[in-house]
Amino acid sequence: MKGALFFITGIILFLYGMLKLSNEVQQRFSNVRLREYFRFAVRNPVYGLITGVLSTIFFQSSTATSVLTVGVVSAGLMSFYRSLGIILGADVGTTFTVQLVVWKITDAAPLIIAFAGVLWVLGKGKWKFIGEGAFYFGLIFFGLSLVSDAAAPLKNNPTFVRYLLLAGDPFTGLVVGLVFASIVHSSAVPISILVVLAQHHLIALDNALPAVFGANIGTAVTAILAAFVANVNGKRCALSHFLFKLFGAVICIALLPYFSGVLRMLTADIAQQIAYGHLLFNIVIAAVFIFLLKPFSYLVEYILPGKAEALPLWPEYLDERLLPDPREALECVRKELHRELVVAKTMSSRSFSLVRDFKEGQRRDVVYMELVVDNLRKEVGAYLWKISAGSLSPELSQRLFTYSAMSDDVERIADHAAKIVDLARQKYKRKVRFTHWGHAEFEEIGRLVIENIEDAISLIERRDDEKVGRIIAREDEVDLKIKESRERHLERFHKRICEAEAGPIFIEMLINLERISDHCQNIAEYIRDESQGRRLQAQDIKSR
């Protein structure tokens, strides 16, 4: 009984440490680093494979890497084809954790936890983060050390030993590994346990390998679950991950005697043979598919037909070759601003719909879209800075200032849309309900705000004084309706018609709607002022 308790506790600590470490690393994975992550990964499949390997070692979880990849592909930030190299790399990177178990880092786990815990408690800034990450890293292997301690007495159980040492049905081992990895959302857990059993001479290689193959298939289940809320490209990404693993498992099971023979030639240590088997399995998959990604992607697209909206992370119109011609360069900026505002409008529309019907997949898409807007703002700012280094006429200088200010406003629109999404998530998680009057008021104001964004998009394409006037008039209407909505909300609150928790969330959502409309008005006024400035300059030239 005590041994079973130690075994279960060890697995729980392993999972907890892995989950916390992965979450901490992802939270520190800033937008700047994420941009560089994509910039490197999309160059070619080999770079994607390297990115997948390194990110999985960094996250200590191939599941985290695959779920992140499904998310960014679903949001349109990366093409389905470009994601395949990352998935292959993630599968190779996950073998690092198992190899650490073979090297018996579990023996040093208490020392790592003690040192990291002190650094976490006493450290500041980045050292505190490093201490926390190292603490969870140590916890992973401390959990495995408990599993090892629980497994040691099993040597004296002849029935258990006979079952694990005698070669059984490979299909049974495959299913056991698959189910176990599916439940714990990690292939590293069952395979690490197999390594621990092998270190105690409790399992045969021919029994362990089918479970290794099954665990590799099982680790694809989490990405498949994440794909249920993804678009068609996200689903293709998850299906590809599953097919890679399934293909590898079928081939390796069919060639099991030869596969085992290769491992026995490499080393006589069964624990190391299992780790090498895990590594070789994933290297074979990567080596085969890295050269077949194009036809494989066509096959998956045939299985899952459909079109998904592409949302390039990088600028599409900022041409460095046009910088010597400021007028043409500024036209490139205008086109990029138009694209940036279209993305911000999509974010706003989706964030408004999440208030009534929250869906985690759509929330994640909005978060990734904000990354696009932030990146475009950075790239536009850098491009405008290069334009400003040249000789500009007063007209072009005014336009440069206008575009710089507009880019800031577009980014703010995206920021406020993201805040509404966060509030919608709070509302959903805390089970807060708005009254039907509250929903109706929010949606009415939201429609006005979207109309303002649409008119602002049109103004970037072509100046129109009538639309400038409509945006300003609509902004006044938005302000009035928000004021009325606040008053009606207070009245409902005092009459106990609405929930107390709903008030702060509802009011803050209204504030963000108002801010979005304000930024649309700013864009309209910038365009109006630039147009008036050009007319005055023309009149001044004529008067001379």
3-class SS string, 310-342? CCCCCCCCCCHHHCCCHHHHHHHHHHHHHHHHH
Check whether residue 500 and residue 473 sit in a common domain.
yes
pLDDT score recorded for residue 544? 46
- For residue 309, being part of any structural domain is answered with no
Whether 453 maps to a domain, the answer reads yes
Tell me which residue of 254, 160, 247, 242 sits closest to 210, measured CA to CA: 254
Question: Tokens in use for 296?
Answer: 């494989």
Rounded distance between C-alpha atoms, residue 240 and residue 244, angstroms = 6
**Inter-residue contact 381 to 403 (CB < 8 Å):** no
How many structural domains are present in the chain?
A: 2
Residue with tokens 């993630």: 90
Token output for 195: 């390594």
Same domain, 414 and 269: no
Of 159, 249, 134, 143, whose CA–CA distance to 196 is shortest?
Answer: 143
Q: Check whether residue 113 and residue 245 sit in a common domain.
A: yes
Same domain assignment for residues 171 and 262 = yes
3-class state of residue 48 by DSSP: helix
Q: Are residues 479 and 451 in the same domain?
A: yes
CA distances from 84 to 70, 99, 240 (A): 10, 24, 7
Q: What is the DSSP string of 492-526?
A: HHHTT-S-TTHHHHHHHHHHHHHHHHHHHHHHHHH
Residues in contact with 301: Cβ distance below 8 Å, sequence separation at least 6, in sequence order:
80, 236
Question: How far apart, in whole angstroms, are the C-alpha atoms of residue 439 and residue 258?
Answer: 65
- 198 and 154 both lie in a single domain: yes
For 267, the 3-state DSSP assignment is coil
Residue 115 lies in a domain: yes
Q: State how far the Cα of 180 lies from the Cα of 172, in Å rounded to an integer.
A: 12
Give CA–CA dist 258/297, Å, rounded: 30
Is 241 contained in some domain? yes
Check whether residue 291 and residue 359 sit in a common domain: no
Domain identity same for 328 and 260: no
Same domain, 166 and 193: yes
> How many of the other CB atoms lie within 10 Å of CB of 451?
16
Given 303, 338, 373, the domain boundary residue is: 303
> Taking the mean position of all CA atoms in its chain, how far away is CA 492?
39
Domain assignment present for 314: no
Q: List b or e across 477-501, with b for residues whose CB sees 16 or more CB atoms inside 10 angstroms.
A: ebeebbeebbeebeebeeeeebbee
159 and 22, same domain (yes or no)? yes
Q: Write down which residue in 278, 303, 328 finishes a domain.
A: 303
Residue with tokens 């072509």: 462
H-helix segments, 103-187: 109-122, 126-151, 158-165, 170-184
Within-domain flag for 313? no
Alpha helix (H) ranges present in 322-435? Answer: 326-356, 360-388, 394-429
Nearest partner of 15 among 132, 135, 185, judged by Cα: 185
- Check which CATH number belongs to the domain holding 425 and give it: 1.20.58.220
pLDDT in the model for residue 159: 56
AA letter at 364: R
Enter the DSSP assignment of 358. Answer: -
Question: CA-CA distance, 331 to 337, in Å (whole number)?
Answer: 10
Residue 310 lies in a domain: no
Q: Kindly state whether residues 333 and 205 are assigned to the same domain.
A: no
Look up the domain containing 258 and give its range.
2-303
Quick check: 399 and 330 in contact, CB under 8 A? yes
Last residue of a domain, one of 275, 303, 331: 303
Q: Among 424, 412, 342, which residue's Cα sits nearest to residue 374?
A: 412
> Is residue 230 one of the residues assigned to a domain?
yes
Q: What are the two backbone dihedrals, phi and then psi, of residue 449, each rounded to the nearest 5 degrees?
A: -65, -45
Same domain, 357 and 503: yes
pLDDT by residue, tens only, the chain of 544 residues: 566 787 788 778 877 777 677 666 656 654 445 556 666 666 677 888 888 888 777 766 676 677 777 777 776 667 788 888 888 888 888 788 788 878 777 778 888 889 888 888 888 777 887 888 888 888 877 877 777 777 666 555 555 555 454 546 788 888 888 888 887 777 777 888 888 888 878 788 888 899 899 888 988 877 777 667 667 877 888 888 889 989 989 988 888 889 999 999 999 898 899 999 999 998 989 888 888 888 998 899 888 887 766 666 678 888 888 999 999 999 999 999 999 999 999 999 999 999 999 988 788 888 888 888 988 899 999 999 999 988 888 888 889 999 999 999 999 999 999 999 999 999 999 999 999 999 999 999 999 999 999 999 999 988 888 899 999 999 999 999 999 999 998 888 888 888 888 889 999 999 999 999 999 999 999 988 876 655 444 444 444 4
What is the C-alpha separation between 314 and 317, in angstroms, rounded?
9
Residue-level pLDDT at 37: 62
- Report the C-alpha gap between 94 and 57 in whole angstroms: 7
